[in-house]
Amino acid sequence: MCDIFAGSGVVAGQFATIPNIKNIIINDILFSNEIIYHAFFMGQDADFKVLEELKEYYTQALKLEENYFSQHFSDKFFSYKDCVKIGSIREHIESLNLDKLNKDILLTSLIYSMDKIANKEIPILLCWKDDNANGLYDYIIHLRQEIVAINKTEFSYSDEFIYEKCLKLLESSNKIRFKMSQIINEAVDEYIRKMRITGLISLRGNGRFIDINTNENNKIDYILQTHKAFKGDYLNDTQANKLAFFNYMAIVDSFLVSVTPISADKSVKSSKLNELANTYTKDFIKQELLITCNKQESKDSFLRLIDKPLRLEFLSAIFLKQHFENLSVIPNYKSDDEGLPVYTASGNKPDIVAMDTKARSYIEVSLIRDRSQSALEMIPIARHLKELIKNSTDIREKFSVFVAPNIHDDAKEYAEFAQFKDNINICCYAINDFIKKVENSTEWLQINDDLKA
């Protein structure tokens, strides 16, 4: 007899392999855990042919429809599209004429397929020595079982726990060559930032998990079908192996270079912006704007994963949304399937469009500090604003806003020149002045210094 207190209880499956253990008494009040126990303990009696057929059906042919799970759990830990699929599979399993064991195995498989990669598990991915994806999957699942057995809580890894696992994967005890700060923090942040730039991954659970960006499924399928992993030994430090690796990394895929990134539906991006404007306090966003512009390091576990130029666009949009209730704020950054930013706005669009019943304006934000503001920012700003005025038929005031850590004198002079030559107004604000102006304004039109409201 064995009494198990193991969180999700998956570790209990090990007891099913011990011949002399005849009875297992489980002390667990969660029905979901009973399903998992049953699947692990009695899985050897399953109808594997039927299960394989259903696996293929769920992957290829299942009709996906709105369901309870998508209605109540989307955009929490999972994207809306993922929730539709999870809920559709869940409801189909319930409708099957199968015995309890096979249903429990299907439900358990679904529960585990829902799990994303936790950020604390990324060092394991980065230290994995080959392209054995199934081996990596099994290792991470076992790791989750192990930490639940230790702490009774999922994903409760300590830095030291993961670091020791990584050193074993690296077959090294050299803590100078492989510093804990590099493996646990620096490499993880760098990996997430670079993968976010590709647009292939999304952040879930307020940045605690990473997942496939479902908007880019076609691109991801293409990569899996056409690209092969590096076949050399990642732990081999010889010059020949290094050269082979660099040659592999230097390969350019013309399709991936040319394909256009897919952004989330505008309603998804707008919904996420509204959510974050309500979640974060005004003072928090204000401080993060100053941190971003003053070359400081954000301590926020989510925001620090967003590259600073993109972060400035993101924070500026939230800041405006928080301070002007009736202002429509439309950021043009590309976003993932949760509406979170992936790329900065393209060169032919303003960073942010802001409008209400009295004004329509373009907002450009930049981390550039020197005289190049004129050529790189002010000239395009003037061009966009003139196009807006030319193509507009309404009588709302039209102006642009330029925000940077500081405003160079050349940029100020260009704004004055543009007003004289083309009768357009470009308001230039250093970040501190912009924050004060927004905080002291009751409506968006007051941001336009050319108007004496």
Look-up of token digits 């790329």? 343
Residue 233 lies in a domain: no
Residue 281 lies in a domain: yes
* Spatial CB neighbours of 244, under 8 Å, sequence gap ≥ 6: 230, 232
C-alpha to C-alpha distance for 239 and 202, rounded to whole angstroms = 35
* Share in percent of the chain as helix, strand, coil (round to 5): 55, 10, 35
Q: Are residues 360 and 212 in the same domain?
A: no
What pLDDT tens digit does each residue of the chain (453 aa) get? Answer: 444 444 444 445 555 556 666 666 655 545 666 677 677 677 677 888 888 888 888 877 788 888 888 887 665 556 677 788 888 988 898 888 888 888 888 887 777 666 567 889 999 999 998 888 888 888 998 898 898 888 877 788 999 999 999 999 999 999 999 999 999 999 998 999 888 888 888 888 777 888 888 888 888 888 888 877 787 777 788 999 989 989 988 888 888 878 777 666 678 889 899 999 999 999 999 999 999 999 899 989 889 889 899 999 999 999 999 999 999 999 999 998 888 998 898 878 899 999 999 999 999 999 999 999 999 999 999 999 999 999 999 999 999 999 999 999 999 999 999 999 999 999 999 999 999 999 999 999 999 975 443
Q: Are residues 110 and 179 in the same domain?
A: no
Whether 360 contacts 398, CB under 8 Å: yes
Residue 386 lies in a domain: yes
Q: Are residues 436 and 324 in the same domain?
A: yes
Q: Are residues 285 and 382 in the same domain?
A: yes
Q: Are residues 167 and 280 in the same domain?
A: no
C-alpha to C-alpha distance for 370 and 378, rounded to whole angstroms = 12
Whether 377 contacts 344, CB under 8 Å: no
Going by DSSP bridges, is the β-strand pair 359-365/397-404 parallel, antiparallel, or unpaired? parallel
Residue 249 lies in a domain: no
Q: Output the 3-class SS for 143-201.
A: HHHHHHHHHCCCCCCCHHHHHHHHHHHCCCCCCCCCCHHHHHHHHHHHHHHHHHHHCCE
Residue 336 sits in a domain of what CATH number? 3.40.91.50
Q: What's the Rg (C-alpha) of the chain?
A: 27
The number of folded domains in the chain is: 3
Domain holding 203, by residue range, is 117-227
Q: Are residues 23 and 49 in the same domain?
A: yes
C-alpha to C-alpha distance for 291 and 54, rounded to whole angstroms = 51
Per-residue CA distances from 74 to 82, 83, 262 (Å):
8, 6, 20
